[in-house]
Amino acid sequence: MDIRAYLSQGRPLLFDGAMGTYFDALSGRAQGRCDLANLNQPDRIAAIHRAYLDAGCMAIKTNTFTVSRDMAAGEAAQAEQSLDAACRLAREAAEPYGAFVFGDIGPVPQEAEDSAPAEIYCRQAALFLERGITCFLVETLASDEGIPELTAFLKSRCPEAFLIVSFAVGADGFTRGGLSGRTLVRRTAALPEVDAVGFNCVSGPHHLLQLVRTVDVGEKRLSVMPNAGYPTVLGRRTVFGGQPDYFGEQLAEIVRAGASIVGGCCGTTPAHIAQAAAALEKPLPPSVSVAENAPAETAPATNPLWDKLAAGKRVVAVEFDPPADDDIAPFLEGVRALRDAGADAVTIADCPIGRPRADSSLLACKVKRELGMEPLPHMTCRDRNMNATKALLLGLSMEDVHNVLLVTGDPIPTEARDEVKSVFNFNSRKLIRYVAGLNETVFRTPFRLYGALNLNARNFHIQLRLAQEKEANGVSGFLTQPVLSRQALDNLRLARETLHGKILAGIFPVVSHRNACFLNNEIAGMYVCDEIVALYEGKEREEAEALAVKISAEIARQVTPYSDGLYLMTPFRRVGLMCRIIEAL
């Protein structure tokens, strides 16, 4: 029977469980990768297929989940040999049962080139089609990169192909790449060549049940294949403790919630699939709407900084470095002086140049609570994984802080790398995309996200392209590096013509000739033109500060047509100088 005809009968299509974890759990197995067993242990792979078919499934996956990794690593010959054997073993096992065989395509490693996913997915699809496989499951994805290209390829090569696209999300509904599962499913369901879309892996059945009750895939079919609960480590073995009877009951609930294609992922065995088959044979009562128990919505908080920008009023944000010790009094006194001078916001760096300082987000909460001033904390990709990032943002939101500057962050200094390790789960664009996804699903008051824009970059067109990507991922505005040259001003003008978001033009008051030389030679992203450097020669401190006020005010005048406000950077904690500049403006 054709796959679409089978599904049109109104009964769910039950897949097999996990090949990899079941293969690992079998006693007496030889050491080695599961997919290579297609070649060196074909009888064992065939036996696992038959065990799942005996349990009652009507669709099995080829044992090819890791072929994408092999292709990305340049092991194309080995990948094709394994895929060829996997197709033969799955088709021979499925034939007596009249079951469907799906070509299983796993994710391309995240470190692969951006163009790699589309190419690798299409190469595998071509290999499957050559072997008569026309049903496909692309699974455990962290993003939809390469999927539009794959769907177009399949449509052109085999119009009758049936394609399921499945994303791996955690209990919070986000992939390891920081993308919202709901958004990915909605976007993928909109592709006309996709037949079904959904979720698999990472999460157990309970959390995927809660998630699918909140998604809408339109007229497409919903596919859900949970893990058997969550893993624990016993000795050197990873064990899933989810019981088969519970799994079967939960899978039936997932069908009630709208799924028409179900199965199992990591930790599921033939026993889990047998219980699922039995549960799906029973009459399923209608699903209960989750809206009945939904909490009452509360009104979002205000965001004075963004409200002022959105109203077309110019703002002044001043960067003030956090203290390197636990004496916060001078920091608060400085922020108070800046507020009283007329600054609209204070921006707080996140461990600048990779050295530890007081946490920018904790300081932001204190500034908001005790001084009533709008803070704009910086948040780097360094030092926090996804969980820590989300936890910190939740705390900021609770403290009524709703603006954040998201940047990659400086690396850990070389001399400290033996003791201090960096953690980079994201680059700045992916971090922006992650927080934008949280805005859609988690925060009552969405964060306004800002990005950095280096006007002094030699290849500014690359910076501009990255800024456009940031806007596409959710950025509302940019804070630029200082304008201290004609080239930086020209680049600011180009940014205004190209970008849609608000722009706060950077101004750094140079305070001495030595300071100007230091900036040019030792600080990345800074450039002071020769004309300005020359003006500081022979100037004492008071003369230099007066010159800094004059130059900063002139630069502020020049950037006004191309910006929505100013981003002032405080040198050497000279708050008095910054207050003079604000007054001069």
Dihedral sign for Cα atoms in the order 531, 537, 541, 543: negative
Contact predicate 396/365, CB 8 Å: yes
- 359/374 Cα distance (integer angstroms): 17
Residue 286 CB partners (closer than 8 Å, separation 6+): 256
Q: How far is CA 162 from CA 119, 196, 300, 575, in A?
A: 19, 8, 43, 65
Residue 296 CB partners (closer than 8 Å, separation 6+): none
**Pairing mode, if any, of strands 100-105 and 59-61?**
parallel
Determine what percent of the chain falls in helix, strand and coil, rounding each to the nearest 5: 45, 15, 35
The whole-number pLDDT of residue 116 equals 85
Instruction: Tell me the three state secondary structure of residue 13.
Output: strand
Q: What angle do CA 137, 141, 147 make, to 5 degrees?
A: 70
The whole-number pLDDT of residue 24 equals 86
Contact predicate 492/559, CB 8 Å: yes
- 360/364 Cα distance (integer angstroms): 6
- Give the predicted TM-score (pTM) of the model: 0.76
Q: Which long-range contacts (CB under 8 A, 24 or more apart) does 231-240 make?
A: 231/266, 231/267, 238/21, 239/267, 240/21, 240/266, 240/267, 240/268
Going by C-alpha positions, the residue among 246, 245, 254 that lies closest to residue 284 is 254
Going by C-alpha positions, the residue among 518, 379, 528, 526 that lies closest to residue 455 is 526
Q: Residue for token digits 């300071």? A: 515
| Radius of gyration in angstroms for the set of CA atoms belonging to the chain, rounded to a whole number | 29
Going by C-alpha positions, the residue among 137, 192, 142 that lies closest to residue 170 is 142
- Per the structure block, which two tokens stand in for 277? 């088959």
Query: Tell me, what DSSP letter sits at residue 267?
Result: T
**Pairing mode, if any, of strands 237-240 and 231-234?**
antiparallel
Residue 573 CB partners (closer than 8 Å, separation 6+): 320, 321, 330, 334
Task: Give 10-residue mean pLDDT values along the chain (585 residues).
Answer: 93 96 75 85 96 98 95 91 97 97 94 76 97 97 95 96 97 88 95 97 94 94 93 61 90 96 96 97 63 52 94 97 94 97 97 84 96 96 85 96 90 54 69 90 93 96 96 96 97 98 98 96 92 96 96 98 98 96 94
Instruction: Write out the E strands in 82-129.
Output: 100-105
Instruction: Tell me the three state secondary structure of residue 420.
Output: coil
The whole-number pLDDT of residue 291 equals 40
Contact predicate 453/480, CB 8 Å: yes
- 253/256 Cα distance (integer angstroms): 5
